[in-house]
Structure 1
Amino acid sequence: MPFLTRRLALGLVAAATAILPALPASAQTKLKWAHVYETSEPFHTQSVWAAQEIAKRTNNRYQIDVYPASQLGKESDINQGLSLGTVDMIISGPSFAARSYPPIGIGYYPYIFRDSGHLLAFAKSDVFKELSAGYAEKTGNHMVALTYYGVRHSSTNKPFKTCAEMKGLKIRVPDAPAYLAMPRSCGANTSPIAFAEVYLALQNGTVDAQENPLTTIEAKKFFEVQKNIVLTGHIVDHLATIISKQLWAKLSDEDKKIFTDVAQEAAIRASGEIQAKEKELLETFKQKGLTITEVNKDEFKDAVMKSVTLESLGYRKADYDKIQALKSEGL
């Protein structure tokens, strides 16, 4: 090869080599993470932390943009988006996942969890791994973490202490079988009023009561139009972090572990924030002049188990028994 030709060839190789460091940026994978919660809530702030942490642990091979407050749709929309490929990751109540695989919704059966520590134990348990594996087999999507959302209690104009005293009570409840189970078992009249309209419905007497975690009662200012909180504690609510079938298939085993580890760390962080906030709120509500009433939860639980079977909701008794056997863990 002539000298000048050799120099030209070597120069081209050197130039190409100089360009190589810029290639990883163009190879970066951009992902969408969606949920319906506000930017001030731990479910969002910890999702943002997780997105940044995944980027850090994968040397910025993944850029995850988090879309809060239903920007990419309602919960039903983003769950569907996992299959359509319009979202890559979501945080959502497993009750929506249960529409595709009913057994995964067993955590919504009233009084199945004793407290937040029991839920945390479930999140780490073999029974959850079995249920999430069944969900993955059915949908291809992977449920990698559970976050504590809060214990659902009742706020009401007419205080009650027993299940029997709920008879005839007009209460707003989400229109889903597991949510309806406790009020209907106690003879209450349930109403599926849109969430955005609940405050006005309570204010004008369309309904006498509603049920939600203390954090929601504060955030939505229901305490302004309800002077009684009854600690029914009927559902220990929770959210799942779910990775889409398409994304999971593309991840290496190493990256699957990173995504899973980070999602679980974020869930623990958010869970701790919610638990701490709940403890503060009981005292806050008392200071605002609200009456806090405790009840015998066993009485409410017995009423549910007599009138709404596990099987009628698509749940399995064997899973229920395994969950009951779990010991609570501290957050």
Structure 2
Amino acid sequence: MPPFKKITALAAAAVIGLAAPALAEIKIRISTAGPGGAPLTTMFEEIKSGMESQFPGDFDISVHHSSSLFKQGTELPALMRGNLEMASPVTFEIEQQLPEYGLLGAAYLFRDSDHMLEVFRGPIGDKFYHDVEDKTGVVILDTAYLGTRTVNLRKLRDVKGPEDLKGVKMRMPPGPAFQTLAKALGATPVSMPITEVYLALKTGSIDGQDNPTNLTRDWKFQEQTEQVILTKHLVQPVFVAISKKTWDQMTPEQQDVMRKVTSAAVQKEIEATLADEASAVETFKADGLTITEVDTEAFRKAVWAEYEKEGLTKNWVPGLAEDIAAVK
């Protein structure tokens, strides 16, 4: 056949009226332990809405809250294996893959939420994000604010320092660092997914749990709680993370928009979480819960002594604590 007679398969398809195959949708399932209606869940819903409106037909995004798709603590391994597309891991989960960054989950490390966000939005955060991607194949798009954790007890107790929590069975999320934290606070740790906490409080199989005030209210734990102790032991970041496998399927334009959409949604999440924490305390007071102020310095000293005793500090990036303290 003469060269000018040759046509490609695609051209032939066009000649006979067949459309060229469209690019496949990028499927993104988002898993989070946050309950429905919580700022963290709403943040992911805004990311979904933003991406689907900017790129109609290019994405199929679904948000699965309340650990309904993956159990709490299993999302990061699923991201690493490519079995999950997006999630909201915390420092304790990442520490299990990068123990040198265990410091980032240490109690009394950050002064407040502003300090924590400055750290992760500066050179320290850039280095951390790079190392996480390099070693796990997970891309962190931004850092949000989960809340500041407090100790919450099923029954009223006279608590002034860590010694007063001796014998208290306190639920902690899965992971060895959380267990160490409970011991450092003076309590006996009980590892348990958040979805099991309400019943455990109701039956008395645990004596308390540690969570930010907003999450205690979101999960209705205050219904089985008499006392909130403002230990304020952990200003907790939470990361918006996506599997590199999924990230690499996107065009540069889609990646750029994803970062912008995420940044805007994260800022709303931070503002909503701060407001929720304050309003939750007022809800607890109205419900008759006892709100106890304590000397946080006593808890801080006990916690860091436990870190030293357990030998955890030997694994941490040298000088990182000092660098974080210097961030204004």
- TM-score class, shorter: 0.7 to 0.9
Residue equivalent to 1:119:
116
Deviation at 1:25, TM superposition (A): 5.4
Q: Distance in 2 between matches of 1:186 and 1:67?
A: 32
Give 1:144's match in structure 2, choosing from 141, 145, 149: 141
Q: Distance in 1 between matches of 2:48 and 2:247?
A: 16
Give 2:52's match in structure 1, choosing from 52, 55, 68: 55
Q: Distance in 2 between matches of 1:128 and 1:214?
A: 26
Q: Distance in 1 between matches of 2:78 and 2:182?
A: 32
Q: Distance in 1 between matches of 2:136 and 2:68?
A: 24
The alpha-carbon distance between structure 1 residues 56 and 198, as it changes in their structure 2 partners (threshold 3 A), is closer
**Does the 8 A contact of 2:73 with 2:174 survive in 1?**
no
**Structure 1 gap segments, 5+ residues each:** 1-8
SS at match of 1:308: helix
SS at match of 1:159: coil
Deviation at 1:237, TM superposition (A): 2.1
Q: Distance in 1 between matches of 2:56 and 2:182?
A: 50
Residue equivalent to 1:207:
206
Normalized against structure 2, the TM-score is what? 0.84
SS at match of 1:164: helix
Residue equivalent to 2:312:
312
**Does the 8 A contact of 1:38 with 1:69 survive in 2?**
yes
Deviation at 1:111, TM superposition (A): 0.8
Residue equivalent to 2:79:
82
**Does the 8 A contact of 1:159 with 1:228 survive in 2?**
no
Residue equivalent to 1:299:
298
For residues 250-295 of structure 1, give each alpha carbon's deviation from its aligned partner in whole angstroms, at most 9, with x where no partner exists: 3343333222222222122112111101111111111111111111
Structure 1 runs (4+) deviating above 6 angstroms are 17-20
Residue equivalent to 1:245:
244
**Does the 8 A contact of 1:214 with 1:281 survive in 2?**
yes
Give 2:41's match in structure 1, choosing from 44, 50, 69: 44
> Given residue 40 of structure 1, which amino acid in structure 2 is its aligned partner?
G
Residue equivalent to 1:266:
265
Identity rate, percent: 28
Report the number of matched residues.
317
Deviation at 1:312, TM superposition (A): 1.2
Deviation at 1:144, TM superposition (A): 1.3
Structure 1 residue 321 corresponds to structure 2 residue 322: yes
**Could you say what the CA RMSD is over the residues aligned between the two structures, in angstroms?**
3.0
**Structure 2 gap segments, 5+ residues each:** 1-6
The alpha-carbon distance between structure 1 residues 225 and 44, as it changes in their structure 2 partners (threshold 3 A), is closer
Deviation at 1:194, TM superposition (A): 5.0
Q: Distance in 2 between matches of 1:272 and 1:23?
A: 46
Normalized against structure 1, the TM-score is what? 0.84
Deviation at 1:18, TM superposition (A): 11
The alpha-carbon distance between structure 1 residues 53 and 199, as it changes in their structure 2 partners (threshold 3 A), is closer
Higher-Rg structure is: 1
The alpha-carbon distance between structure 1 residues 106 and 251, as it changes in their structure 2 partners (threshold 3 A), is farther
SS at match of 2:232: strand
